[in-house]
Amino acid sequence: MPSNAQLIETARRRRFVLRERRQGSSYPDIAEATEEEFGADRLPSGWDERYAYKDVKRALQKVRADLEETAEEVRMMEMQRLDAMLEGLWTDAIAGETDAVHAALKVMKRRANYLGLDEPEELDVTAGTDPETIETLLEALRDYPEARQAVADALDSNE
């Protein structure tokens, strides 16, 4: 098991290689810069560009995990806020006070949205089926091949 000092050194090295990669350095250049920065004797045995690649990959995985954790924390905080709002509105809403009912429904809709409970809205492709509109729509979906195919299929079925 690595010591605390080793863990700290590894974290410093990974921050360094990630910064180098973000600046556009190649892996051979990162390996060389890391050796200059830390000294060959303080690097893992066999340090080279492959090791630099692994360090960059692991550093990016940590960044991704931290972002996911942060997003989940924000989501939970937002859910708690929505719950508190709904709790404050609930008595008036169930008593039939129109403004409170509307406000409660908005809070509930936002909550359902956060939780992914609502079905996606259907796309009405019959509204504008002139060739220019169709071409514009399909071009807008160029980067979304599944959606583009679904629109094309829906258009074919309407003919």
pLDDT tens track, the chain, 159 positions = 878 888 899 999 999 999 999 999 999 999 999 999 999 999 999 999 999 999 999 999 988 888 888 888 888 899 999 999 999 999 999 999 999 999 999 999 998 888 888 776 665 555 556 677 777 777 777 777 777 777 777 766 665
Question: Both 84 and 130 in a single domain?
Answer: no
Question: Both 93 and 43 in a single domain?
Answer: yes
Question: Both 72 and 43 in a single domain?
Answer: yes
Question: Both 110 and 140 in a single domain?
Answer: no
**Number of independent structural domains in the chain:** 2
Structure tokens at 93: 């809403």
Nearest-CA neighbor of 15 among 59, 57, 47, 50?
A: 59
Global pTM exceeds 0.85: no
Question: Both 129 and 108 in a single domain?
Answer: no
Question: Both 73 and 128 in a single domain?
Answer: no
Question: Both 139 and 105 in a single domain?
Answer: no
CA geometry: angle 56, 62, 63, nearest 5 deg: 90
**Which domain does 111 fall in, by range?**
4-115
Buried b (16+ CB within 10 A) or exposed e, 28-64: eebbbbbbeeeeeeebeeebeeebbeebbeebeeeee
Residue 112: count of CB within 10 angstroms of its CB? 11
Question: Both 126 and 111 in a single domain?
Answer: no
Residues 63 and 70 sit within 8 Å (Cβ to Cβ): no
